[in-house]
Amino acid sequence: MKILHNFPLLPYNTFGLDVKAQHFAEFSSVDDLREALTTGIQPVLLLGGGSNVLITQDVQGLVLKNNLQGIKVIREFKNKVWVEVGGGVVGTNLCSGRWNKVTAAWKI
């Protein structure tokens, strides 16, 4: 895993604010996440798609971009579906037509 320094977060926040992370890494597996957490860099900010967070200033510590993918059906009953979803899955992709109503258990 590569940790980048003084990394621009502009493409990672939907408000388009030009802020930087002191340290930044992306992970696509639980093993990658474990490796990033063993660096000891604190504090840690976990970032998804950036649409539900407002970052107004540079971030000290380690910003981890969650790229975990995957959608797994856990249970189906009548018109309901329970799914386990990787934290890097975009919500609109989850409800792209296969199901009308989804109860999602977001994973990491």
Locate 79 and state its tokens. Answer: 């018109």
pLDDT tens for the chain, 108 residues: list them. 899 999 999 988 888 889 999 999 999 988 999 999 999 999 999 988 777 788 999 999 999 998 887 777 888 888 787 877 777 777 666 665 555 555 555 554
**Domain 4-66 architecture:** 2-Layer Sandwich (3.30)
Rounded to two decimals, the pTM is: 0.75
> For the chain, which residues make up each domain, given as ranges?
4-66, 71-107
